[in-house]
Amino acid sequence: MDVKPGRVSDTIRNSSEEDEDAMMMDLRRGPWTVEEDLALMNYIANHGEGRWNSLARCAGLKRTGKSCRLRWLNYLRPDVRRGNITLEEQLLILELHSRWGNRWSKIAQHLPGRTDNEIKNYWRTRVQKHAKQLKCDVNSKQFKDTMRYLWMPRLVERIQAAASASTATTGASSSITTAAANTYHFNNNNNSFQTAAGAGHVALQQATLIGNNNDLAGSYTTPENSSTAASSDSFGTQVSPVSELTDYYSNMSVNNNKPSSQALDYFQATNPHHQVGYHDSMTSPSGYSFNQGGLNSHSFQAASAPEQNNNGQWGMDGGDFSDNLWNVEESDMWFLQQQLGNI
DNA sequence: AACTGCGGCAACCGCAGTGGT
DNA sequence: AACCACTGCGGTTGCCGCAGT
């Protein structure tokens, strides 16, 4: 197999013996061949992973240990998921990134089968592209607010719509009735995002979807402290049902760096028969999870919004959510731009 | 058909952290 | 304490395919 050589660093590396070895030993770089993949997989199948440098040598691979490890973790590992990032995964990524920033590895831990590299690439290509289209910096408060208050609720909406469509076509309604009582709204006092699930408040209250970590200190759950956060009589009072995104934006100053006290007052669940179906089990540190084939008590509810049509869908020219969820993103951009235009 | 620009993604890089000696 | 090998992480690069012209 003819493989072009990979790029060569323009600097002489001297940080480790491994790097020197790489230069001295005619190690391969660039794309992996099928033969190399097989050799690596066979070796790991027989000997397990780890000790990557010796593994590379023993497996007869002319690669650095680093390269073998990366290839295994990002591509060859049997549990690696490939293909489009699902809506649920997008939502989780947005939420977790809002909390942890570029901690890709940490974020990836909450998306089974997804690698940090894949999530990083998703962020850099999709999310940063959207920021660019909206003409704002991906790190700006404006964009973060857009994510929190428009994009993420919109994702939820789309997830629910897809679930509804799926339900309608499969008749699987019995599987999605258990979570009916949950709602999804913001806490007006502490910028937190919570469910109002009947019993046992879900940990969603811990400022899920709120981006600025400084705003959140002590107020949201991490995997490390989730057991305490879910207790929650300390939930603040729930906001009154608000209305519409336009109301929200007419009041909210998305003007950067200014605390947007009114900003959270918009979101409330209204549509208890919309439920979410998820494909893989994923759990956010906030406590909401996505379970295969069914729902649990952490599922989301739909939010009403001015752009919704009579079918409870957003203004999308009649597009079918279930057709190709991934492709619908352009409508999100349209929506976000419309909303930002109203600010 | 040929060319060009761009987006997506696999792979590489440098550095920091960790554990063993 | 110092050194070393190894691992893991986040940032960056460059190849490749595709859409547009």
Residue-level pLDDT, tens digit, chain A, 343 residues: 333 333 222 222 333 344 444 444 567 888 888 888 888 888 888 888 888 888 888 888 888 888 888 888 888 888 888 777 888 888 888 888 888 888 888 888 888 888 888 888 888 888 877 777 777 777 777 777 888 888 888 888 888 887 787 777 655 433 323 232 233 333 333 333 333 322 222 233 333 333 333 333 223 333 333 333 333 332 222 222 222 222 333 333 333 333 333 333 323 332 333 333 334 445 555 454 544 333 333 333 333 333 333 333 333 333 333 333 333 455 555 665 665 555 4
Strand C nucleotides within a 7 Å radius of protein CB atoms: 4-16
What would the two tokens of residue A66 be? 């680093």
Same domain, A25 and A128: no
Among A76, A105, A127, where does a domain finish?
A: A76
What whole-number distance in Å separates Cα of residue A22 and Cα of residue A18?
Answer: 6
Quick one: A171 exposed, middle or buried, by C-beta within 10 A (0-12, 13-18, 19+)? exposed
Nucleic acid strand C within 7 Å of A279 CB = no
- Residue A282 host element (H or E): strand A282-283
Nucleic acid strand B within 7 Å of A50 CB = no
Nucleic acid strand B within 7 Å of A31 CB = yes
Q: State which residues form the domain around A41.
A: 17-76
CA–C1' span, A60 to B3, in Å? 42
A195, β-bridge pairs: A184
User: Closest nucleotide (CA of A100 to C1')?
Assistant: C10
Same domain, A178 and A266: yes
> Quick check: helix, strand or coil at residue A292?
strand
Helix, strand, coil in percent for chain A, rounding step 5: 45, 5, 50
Domain assignment present for A8: no
CA–C1' span, A178 to B7, in Å? 41
Same domain, A206 and A67: no
Strand B nucleotides within a 7 Å radius of protein CB atoms: 7-16
CA–C1' span, A266 to C16, in Å? 44
Q: How many structural domains compose chain A?
A: 2
Considering only residues 154-183 of protein chain A, which place a Cβ less than 7 A from any atom of strand C? none
Domain assignment present for A139: yes
DSSP designation for A32:
P
Domain assignment present for A4: no
Same domain, A44 and A92: no
> Quick check: helix, strand or coil at residue A187?
strand
Instruction: Please give the full DSSP string across A3-30, using - where no structure is assigned.
Output: -------SS---S-HHHHHHHHTT---S
CATH number of the domain enclosing A64: 1.10.10.60
CB A187 within 8 A of CB A216: no
The CA-CA-CA angle for residues A204, A99, A105, to 5°, reads 110
Nucleic acid strand C within 7 Å of A18 CB = yes
CA–C1' span, A181 to C12, in Å? 47
Domain assignment present for A150: yes
